[in-house]
Amino acid sequence: MTKDWKTRTQLVHEGTRRSQYGEMAEAIFLTQGFVYPTAEAAEERFIKAGEDEFIYARYGNPTTRMFEERIAALEGTDDAFATASGMAAVSGALMSLVRAGDHVVSARALFGSCLYVLEEVLQKFGVRVTFVDGADLDQWRAAVTPGTKAVFFESMSNPTLELVDIRGVSEIAHKAGALVICDNVFATPIFSRAVEQGADVVVYSTTKHIDGQGRALGGVVCGTKEFVRKTLEPYMKHTGGSMSPFTAWMHLNGMATLDLRCRAMAASALRIAEVLSGWSQVGRVIYPGLAVHPQHDLAMTQMGSGGTIVTFDVAGGKEAAFRFMNALGIVKISNNLGDAKTIATHPATTTHQRLPQEQKDALGITPGLIRLSVGLEDVDDLIADLGQALGRN
Ligand SMILES: *Cc1c(COP(=O)(O)O)cnc(C)c1O
């Protein structure tokens, strides 16, 4: 049933299934299996499971199904499949689609594990992968050929927040008959219109903003019913990367506040980016919501926001960056993002440590670079904490 609900209503109500008890809150069905009234009913269900019929939690579960329906409605896709982590979603979307001999084109600036899947796993199984500078449409045009099966990119890259023009890349890919797979984590499903802008498949690490409190690993693949149920589901359900019902239940609870949280975080991120830009202890500030950002116009048309992450250089390199991090009080040192708690990460020595120096240089991962995932604390407290840690008082 297609309803005319707006985002916040979807986030509270979409996909809810109630048992015969009429419970108000989404129920958690902590069951791996389901009882059939008769042998004939079991046989029937294995031939074709109905809308409200389940077989085994690796295939689906009522709580997981509620989460899938809610996120699909939010994303504007027909369907979704919930996975055990963001990487199960990324690897599942790619591995279920390609076969040996296929060609994939991918943006070069990727989350480390995504890079591993494209560079190591796919190529090991005979899939050719061409890497391009994601922000340069000419490179996409040159790399995508009529034989290209899929293109892959993060709509906003980690940690330097470079945007990929979803509409532009999708046009190039579709002309060649390639499927567009977009990892939309940094853009969040709130600021994202990836499918509207041409993406065919959207993947999330739900570990980030969707859980929003750093509690659970999870992921999801959103797409057409055809892709999700015919291509992806057989692969996921037989290889074992399905989401736990407990995680789905936590995500359902988290989603009620997703719109409010993302907007509050993005408002604070903009304020912080503006303030940092005026401080002498800070070099370059990267935030697409700032008018000076080279992709500001694209960020506004694609996301309507600069997002919830601010990246900046502490003047003085690694030593100064470490001194700053060690002096932080409210802001925590960690590597998650999208959390209610503000988190500072030093990409060069943690998330991107394994990259060779020339690749770090090419991606702009400098020794003084800090990635700040802005949380839900009072923004004035955050600014005071950042200021004191930079030795401004
Ligand atoms: C975190 C992240 C992933 C992986 O998600 P997990 O839930 O940690 O498996 C993939 N892509 C991006 C852009 C991410 O930030």
DSSP for 288-331, written as a single string = TTSTTSTTHHHHHHHTSS--SEEEEEETTHHHHHHHHHHH-SSS
Final residue before a domain boundary, out of 228, 255, 282: 255
Q: How confident is the model at residue 3 (pLDDT cuts 50, 70, 90)?
A: confident
> Same domain, yes or no, for 206 and 264?
no
Counting from 1 in the atom list of ligand 1, the atom nearest the Cα of 154 is 13
- Are 98 and 160 in the same domain? yes
Nearest 10 degrees: Cα torsion 86, 89, 95, 97: -140
Q: Are residues 130 and 100 in the same domain?
A: yes
Residues 41 and 131 in one domain: yes
- For 253, counting Cβ atoms within 10 Å of its Cβ (0-12 exposed, 13-18 middle, 19+ buried), the class is middle
What does the chain come to in residues?
393
Q: Is 293 found in the same domain as 217?
A: no
Answer whether 308's CB lies under 8 Å from 339's CB: no
Distances (CA, A) of 341 to 242, 259, 268: 27, 16, 12
Q: Quick one: 20 and 167 in the same domain?
A: yes
Q: What is the mean pLDDT of residues 328-340?
A: 97
For residue 2, is pLDDT > 60? no
Q: What is the mean pLDDT of residues 123-127?
A: 97
Mutate to test the pocket of ligand 1, among 83, 90, 113, 250 (most ligand atoms within 8 A of CB): 113
What is the chain's mean pLDDT, rounded? 96
In tens, the pLDDT along 285-305 reads 999 999 999 999 999 999 999
- Beta carbons of 293 and 273 less than 8 angstroms apart: no
Helix pair angle (258-277, 379-389), 10° resolution: 40
Ligand 1 geometric centre to CA of 129 (Å): 20
Reduce the DSSP state of residue 37 to 3 states and report it. coil
If one counts the domains in the chain, the total is: 2
Protein residue whose Cα sits closest to atom 2 of ligand 1 = 205
Same domain, 158 and 287: no
Q: Is the pLDDT of residue 181 over 70?
A: yes
Per-residue pLDDT tens for 157-177? 999 999 999 999 999 999 999
Centroid of ligand 1 to alpha carbon of 149 (angstroms) = 23
Residue with the smallest CA separation from ligand 1 atom 6 is 86
CATH number at residue 354: 3.90.1150.10
pLDDT at 193: 85
Can you give the CATH number for the domain in which 99 is found?
Answer: 3.40.640.10
Residues 203 and 313 in one domain: no
Q: Are residues 246 and 285 in the same domain?
A: no
| pLDDT value for 5 | 95
CA of 53 to the centre of ligand 1 (A): 31
Closest atom, ligand 1, to C-alpha of 208: 1
pLDDT digits (tens, 9 = 90+) for 343-367: 999 999 999 998 899 989 988 999 9
By most ligand atoms within 8 Å of CB, the mutation choice from 111, 152, 157 for ligand 1 is 111
Return the pLDDT at 112: 87
Q: Is residue 393 scored above 90 in pLDDT? A: no
- Domain extent for 382: 259-389
Both 106 and 8 in a single domain? yes
The yes-or-no verdict on residue 341 having pLDDT over 80 is yes
Task: Determine if ligand 1 sits within 6 Å of the CB of residue 83.
Answer: no
For ligand 1, whether the C-beta of 185 sits within 6 Å is yes
Q: What is the pLDDT of residues 199-223, one digit of tens each?
A: 999 999 999 999 999 999 999 999 9
Is residue 248 located within the same domain as residue 270?
no
Residues 250 and 264 in one domain: no
**Tens digits of residue pLDDT in 4-63:** 899 999 999 999 999 999 999 999 999 999 999 999 999 999 999 988 999 999 999 999
Look at residues 255, 288, 305 and tell me which one is the last residue of a structural domain. Answer: 255
First to last CA, the chain: 58
Please identify, among 214, 232, 255, the residue that sits at the C-terminal boundary of a domain: 255
**184 CA distance to ligand 1 middle (Å):** 10
